[in-house]
Amino acid sequence: MEQTELDQLLSKMTLDEKIDQLLQLTGEFFESEDVVTGPTSYLGLTQETVDLTGSSLNVVGAKKLNHIQKQYLEKNSHKIPLLFMADIINGYKTVFPIPLAQGCTFNPELVEKSAAVAAKESSASGLHVTFSPMVDLVRDPRWGRVMESTGEDTYLNGVLGRAMVRGYQGESLLESGTIASCVKHFAAYGAPAGGRDYNTVDLSERTLREDYLPAYKETIDEGCELVMTAFNTVDGIPATANKTLMNDILRGEWGFDGVLISDYAAIAELMTHGVADDEKEAARLAIEAGVDIDMMTSIYVKNLKRLVEEGVIPEKLINDSTMRVLQLKNKLGLFENPYRDASEELEKELLLCDDHRCLSREIAGESIVLLKNDGVLPLQKQNQKLAFIGPYVDNTSLSGLWSIHSDKETVVTVKQAVLDKIGEADVSFAKGCEILNPGVLIGGFGGEPTVGPNDSVAAQEDLKEALQLAEKADVVVLALGEHVVQSGEGGSRAEITLPEIQLDLLRKIHAVNHKIIVVLFNGRPLDLREVHEKASAVVEAWFPGTEGGHAVADVLFNDVNPSGKLSMSFPYSVGQIPIHYNMFNTGRPFKKGNEGNRFASRYTDIPNEAFYPFGFGLSYTSFEYFGLTLDKASMSSEEVLTASVTVKNTGAYTGKETVQLYIQDLVGSVVRPLKELKGFKKISLEPGEAQTVTFEITEEMLKFYTASKKWESEAGKFKVFIGPDSCIEDFVEFTLVK
Ligand code: GLC
């Protein structure tokens, strides 16, 4: 449709019909008539309202959605198609590693390909929009949703957020196999006080603009079609009613003219937060903040008309929001083809096809991070008695909490993958223990709560069998981890160690065999001090997705040389949080070797540094960096500085290395971080091969939110670091002359 036709359509719509386009309901409302009067009667919706709803969420499947769309259009006098949205966070039926793991690949090309596959599969199943990418900056692993982010670095989140938008949306949403993307959660949902989900976010404007906002803007500059509001407050005002965030920054400064959707029932929560006295006030606050779609409440449909008729809000606000929704539907080509890609034949061809599984296996392999290895890895494929023990040895729950549209039985377990790779000779398997301690209860995620099983007889049997196998093995591979519901939405934890029952298994196995490789399946950085102390090797596999077992086996047996680099710091203990690599120096920095100095910014009981730092990850080979140079010692704003370093593979295996560029601004009108990631390049080197890697440094890269509240650079000295992780100390200096 042309814009003029959309304008004509809008002009023919009644106020009720326009407002109904701003309502989003879950799928069950379209699958049976009695939902209105049944469990969701509290919403006070009429069937007529449901029949005019603008969009639906989290109902999937070509056959089902085509049926819903057909029925819906028959009732819609203007033939405005229904929009189908869902949480396709790390894949649809072919599930990829959780985003925190994808961040560890430092591979935007792979991340883009994964998003493109997710789009192909979900659009074949009738979906039009995904509630992804989530680019919330995360510095607190107590927060369960760190698993959905690509990590603690603003630059990395921006690069990978752009890659996901490209993957989902392709060149045009009129092309098949694409879906519109929705960046979330705007803004700064990743900074809740105490790491407690939905809690207050209280940041200075500088921290907000410097660290938390840029990644959202990157995705919008990449063409992301929708933005989702965050549950939290920002500067005392819930994001969903925050005019500064939505009108001034998002739509004003950034020029975003797409659809702004609330998070689930977030408009109703304006009353719970205490900024709206009643639903009418909540409706006003949200629509005035430019929120177009009301996800899963009836506040808009029950109050906006009254607000217009009473002259409290101009009808223009409704018209603008409705037009943005119509324009999104138009960009997707839904007026011409309301059924778009939805096809059962296409589903059969695409969902979980070999190519998609191969990609999932590839990106999972690159997301795995080798954190420790005393030489026990890689494993041999024969002549080694191997015992695979732990609750994650034969477990299909490898896809993370948001894999709600996938099927566990399609997941390859570690056990299956090992048998595929080396057969059953010389290898044994045992669960050893449950994931959770007996009786531990964790709230459900759309289902029943999870409770740690309490069968002491079975537990004793499991442990006994495991210890017998461990005693006889040359090497034990311990597959441990968090329960999948321990991370993700609502999954905040005050302690971040492995469940005690698993640490107990580690201790008992360590007592009979010191050759232990711990493979971890978890959704957040953990306190791994005891694991590190007792294990000969530590492999971080996160929740690797459908092909997770194969990817882990590929790495353990060196069919894939691990190359992952941490996208988020692992603290020594929860007491260090918030911890991230790009801290400020403070006026009293603690200097190693000066342990006697009490009056420094330090702990008396643990080090300041992360246990495993951002950007860190080992390989089976080794890399040497040398010859860090700049092509000039100073640069003007118009010039480009070239930094280069030579990297050599000094080990025995071909390996991939992510070469990381960090810059430090030594003096600014405000304090500046000790390091900031400003670039990275992932290279592959044969044994003995060396490659010179160069980075161009521009004035744009040196800009920050200065004391005068402008985004600009300031003249002065800078340090350039190029190395394997954020702990690199070698540097060269240059001066920016203005
Ligand atoms: C949830 C999440 C959000 C998700 C939405 C729809 O509460 O906060 O990330 O996209 O609801 O499921």
Tell me the per-residue pLDDT of 149-201, one tens digit each, with 9 for 90 and over: 999 999 999 999 999 999 999 999 999 999 999 999 999 999 999 999 999 99
Quick: pLDDT tens for 554-569. Answer: 999 999 999 999 999 9
Residue 528 belongs to domain with CATH number: 3.40.50.1700
Q: Which of 184, 203, 200, 183 is nearest to 192 (CA)?
A: 200
- Report how far apart, in Å, the C-alpha atoms of 533 and of each of 88, 573, 705 are: 38, 14, 42
Confirm whether 276 is domain-assigned: no
Determine whether 263 is an active site residue: yes
Q: State the Cα–Cα distance between residues 135 and 146, nearest whole angstrom.
A: 10
Domain check: are 437 and 547 in the same one?
A: yes
**Out of 20, 140, 263, 554, which one is annotated catalytic?**
263
Of all protein residues, the one whose alpha carbon is nearest to atom 11 of ligand 1 is 264
Residue 330 has pLDDT above 90, yes or no: yes
Helix (H, G, I), strand (E, B), or coil: what is residue 485?
Answer: helix
Which of these, 283, 325, 330, 277, lies nearest to 302 by C-alpha position?
A: 283
CA–centroid distance, 712 to ligand 1, in Å, is 35
pLDDT tier, 325 (very low <50, low <70, confident <90, very high otherwise): very high
pLDDT of residue 47: 87
Q: Find all residues with CB under 8 Å of 631, minimum gap 6, and list them.
A: 641, 642, 643, 644
Which atom of ligand 1 is nearest to 185's Cα? 9
The CA distance from 54 to 357, in Å, is 34
pLDDT (0 to 100) of residue 294: 98
The H-assigned helical ranges of 186-261 are 205-207, 214-221, 243
Contacts of 585 by beta carbon, 8 Å cutoff, 6+ apart: 671, 674
Distance (Å) from CA 98 to ligand 1 centroid:
16
Which pLDDT band holds residue 30 (cuts at 50, 70, 90)?
confident
Q: Are residues 559 and 637 in the same domain?
A: no
Rounded Cα–Cα distance for residues 27 and 221 (Å): 31
Return the bridge partners of 475, or none: 386
**What percent of the chain is modeled with pLDDT above 70?**
99
Q: How many helices (H) and strands (E) does the chain have?
A: 21, 28
Mean pLDDT value of segment 68-84: 95
Question: How distant, in Å, are the alpha carbons of 390, 411, 413, 509, 569 from that of 465?
Answer: 11, 26, 20, 11, 36
Supply the residue whose CA is at minimum distance from atom 12 of ligand 1.
87
Length of the chain: 738
Q: What is the pLDDT of residue 592?
A: 86
User: How high is the pLDDT of residue 706?
Assistant: 97
**Which residue, judged by its Cα, is nearest atom 3 of ligand 1?**
263
- Mutation pick for ligand 1 pocket among 55, 84, 89, 131 (CB with most ligand atoms within 8 Å): 131
414 within domain boundaries? yes
Axis-axis angle for helices 108-124, 154-169 (nearest 10): 40
- CB neighbours of 648 closer than 8 A, spacing ≥ 6? 623, 624, 626, 685, 688, 689, 690, 691
**β-bridge mates for residue 694, sequence order:** 644
- Take residue 590 and report the two structure tokens written for it: 């603690």
According to DSSP, the residues that pair with 233 across neighbouring strands are 238
- What per-residue confidence (pLDDT) applies to 35? 67
Q: Is residue 370 part of a domain?
A: no
Q: Is pLDDT above 80 for 25? A: yes
Same structural domain, 544 and 627: no
Report how far ligand 1's centroid is from the alpha carbon of 213 (Å): 19
Distance between Cα 264 and ligand 1 center (Å) = 6
Task: Please report how many Cα atoms fall inside a 13 Å half-sphere around the Cα of residue 242, on the Cβ side.
Answer: 25
- Ligand 1 contacts (CB < 6 A) are 57-58, 87, 131, 184, 263-264, 489
Q: Is there a single domain that holds both residue 632 and residue 547?
A: no
Looking at residues 267-291, what average pLDDT do you find?
A: 98
Q: How many other CB atoms are found less than 10 A from the CB of residue 533?
A: 10
Residues 541 and 446 in one domain: yes
Residue 696 inside a domain? The answer is yes
Q: Which of 511, 543, 563 is the last residue of a domain?
A: 563
Task: Check residue 41 and give its pLDDT.
Answer: 78
Question: Average pLDDT of 516-535?
Answer: 98
Q: Do 413 and 519 fall into the same domain? A: yes
In the block, residue with structure tokens 């100095």: 597
- Of 196, 188, 182, the closest CA to residue 239 belongs to 188
Atom of ligand 1 nearest to the CA of 231: 8
Q: Which of 544, 563, 582 is the last residue of a domain?
A: 563
Query: DSSP secondary-structure letter at 487?
Result: S
Can you give the pLDDT at residue 448? 87
User: Which two tokens mark 146?
Assistant: 């760190």
Ligand 1 test: best mutation among 138, 231, 489, 492, most atoms within 8 Å of CB? 489
Q: How far apart are CA 156 and CA 580, in angstroms?
A: 14
Q: What is the pTM of this model?
A: 0.98
Distance 25 CA to ligand 1 centre (A): 13
Same domain, 421 and 539: yes
Give 581-619 pLDDT, tens digit per residue: 999 999 999 998 888 899 999 999 999 999 999 999 999
Contacts of residue 36, Cβ cutoff 8 Å, sequence gap at least 6: 29, 43, 45, 46, 47, 50
What percentage of residues in the chain have a pLDDT greater than 90? 95
Structural domain containing residue 417? 377-563
Is residue 532 within 8 A of residue 538, CB to CB? The reply is: yes
Query: What does the pLDDT average to over 649-663?
Result: 98
Nearest to 118 by CA among 41, 180, 189, 46: 180
Q: Which atom of ligand 1 is nearest to the CA of 189?
A: 8
Q: Residue 271 belongs to what H/E stretch?
A: helix 269-273
Q: Give Cα separations from 61 to 66, 123, 529 (angstroms).
A: 8, 9, 45
On average, the pLDDT of the chain sits at 97
The reply to whether 184 falls in a domain is: no
Rg (CA), the chain: 26
Ligand 1 center to 348 CA (angstroms): 28
If one residue of 87, 132, 185, 229 were mutated to test the ligand 1 pocket, choosing by the most ligand atoms within 8 A of its CB, it would be 87
Residue with tokens 């779609």: 293
Please count the other Cβ atoms lying within 10 Å of the Cβ belonging to residue 248.
12
Residues 486, 530: contact at Cβ < 8 Å? no
540 and 632 fall within a common domain: no
Confirm whether 331 is domain-assigned: no
Q: Map tokens 């002549």 to a residue.
A: 383
Write the single-letter amino acid at 246: M
Residue in 24, 189, 264 to alter for ligand 1 test, most ligand atoms within 8 A of Cβ:
264
Residue closest by Cα to atom 7 of ligand 1: 264
Hey, whose CA ends up nearest to atom 10 of ligand 1?
131
Asked whether residue 691 is assigned to any structural domain, the reply reads: yes
526 and 653 housed in the same domain: no
One-letter amino acid at 479 equals A
The encoded tokens of residue 384 equal: 């080694």
How much distance in Å is there from the Cα of 273 to the middle of ligand 1?
18
Q: What is the distance between the alpha carbons of residues 391 and 603, in angstroms, rounded to a whole number?
A: 35
Q: Whose CA is nearest to atom 1 of ligand 1?
A: 264
Residue with tokens 């599969």: 121
- Pairing type for strands 475-481 and 386-389 reads parallel
pLDDT per position as a tens digit, 344-391 = 999 999 999 999 999 999 999 999 999 999 999 999 999 999 999 999
Same domain, 555 and 660: no
* Residue 234: inside a domain: no
Contacting residues for 283 by C-beta, under 8 A, at least 6 apart:
267, 299, 300, 302, 303, 304, 307
Residue 339 C-alpha from the chain's centroid:
30
Please, are residues 479 and 521 in contact by the beta-carbon 8 Å criterion? yes
Q: How far is the CA of 263 from the centre of ligand 1 (A)?
A: 6
The total number of structural domains in the chain stands at 2
- In this predicted structure, what is the pLDDT of residue 33? 65
pLDDT of 36 over the 90 cut? no
> Quick one: 642 and 720 in the same domain?
yes
Q: Which residue has the tokens 């060396």?
A: 690
Ligand 1 atom index nearest CA of 134: 9
What distance in angstroms lies between residue 184's CA and the mean position of ligand 1's atoms?
9
Q: Cα(84) to centroid of ligand 1, in Å?
A: 14
Residue 662 belongs to a domain with what CATH number?
2.60.40.10
End-to-end CA separation in angstroms for the chain: 50
Residue that finishes a domain, picked among 563, 595, 613: 563
Q: Do 536 and 412 sit in the same domain of this protein?
A: yes
Q: Which atom of ligand 1 is nearest to the CA of 184?
A: 9
Rounded to an integer, what distance in angstroms lies between the CA atom of residue 141 and that of residue 573? 10
89 to 331, 337, 606: CA distances (angstroms): 22, 26, 36
Distance CA 538, CA 531 (A): 8
- The answer to whether residues 205 and 250 touch, using CB atoms and an 8 Å cutoff, is no
CA distance 376 to 379: 7
